[in-house]
Structure 1
Amino acid sequence: MNAKSTALAGLACLLTGCTTMRNSTTTEKPMIVHSVFFKLKHDKGSQAEAGFLAQAAELSGIPGVENFQTLKETSPKNNFDFGLSMEFADQAAYDGYNTHPDHVRFVQEVWLKEVVEFQEIDYVPIAD
């Protein structure tokens, strides 16, 4: 990795809370990082908020999900309160997650009813 790529990868790790950086110049396929940042309709610190986060954490048990993290926003630069970040080994693992019945149920029965605003981003390291 050159200095610019290393800096960009480090910034991506800071933003997603990852604990290790992968060298994208190896023969290993780059991981897909899936992140979503959101604001709930619930009062901060409420039991409803805690319940949502507990249900979201159950997504970590879906096959293919790696390095799952529940994140709390600390910056005043945006309107979001929380984030979820996870990694997938490849597109097949990511697609399996998206279509998994537990994920589909969570989106339909929980996410759509309790999230008022969100931003989703999926990304991979830039190869040199």
Structure 2
Amino acid sequence: MITHSVFFRLKFPKGSSEEATFLSAAAKLSTLPAVKNFASLKQTSSKNDFDYGLTMEFENQQEYNGYNIHPDHVSFVNTYWEAYVEKFLEIDYEVIG
């Protein structure tokens, strides 16, 4: 199982219409094939510079690769991610053992 996580800060203020638009568009990623256990996250700690996160799981590398090239994911990245996200950290990982 691969967990794909991104943590980010938007270019727009919290509570803005742009924030709502972005988070709504991001939530639609949960409907893509092979996406499991999708969650939108809100930061509660002051220990880093990120405000939000998205996390999801994939059964294997092939399914994760398919997600990355899926037209709806590519469109989300081109339309929303690149225009709305100011800073991010991507972490992809598997459980050891």
Mark yes or no: TM-score above 0.5.
yes
1:68-115 deviation per Cα after TM superposition (whole angstroms, max 9, x unaligned): 000000110001000000000011110110000000011011100110
1:69 equivalent in structure 2 = 39
1:105-124 matched pairs, under 5 angstroms: 105-124=75-94
Relative to its length, the structure with more strand (as a share) is 2
Residue identity matched to 1:108: N
Give the greater-gyration-radius structure (CA): 1
1:21 equivalent in structure 2 = none
Relative contact order, higher structure (CA 8 A, sep 6+): 2
For the aligned residue pairs, the C-alpha RMSD in angstroms reads: 0.5
Whole-Å Cα distance in 2 between the matches of residues 82 and 63 of structure 1?
A: 23
2:4 paired residue among 14, 34, 37 = 34
2:21 paired residue among 39, 51, 54 = 51
TM-score (norm: length of structure 1): 0.75
Q: How many residues of Structure 1 are paired with residues of Structure 2 in the alignment?
A: 97
After TM superposition, where is structure 1 displaced by more than 3 Å over at least 4 residues in a row? none
2:57 equivalent in structure 1 = 87
TM-score (norm: length of structure 2): 0.98
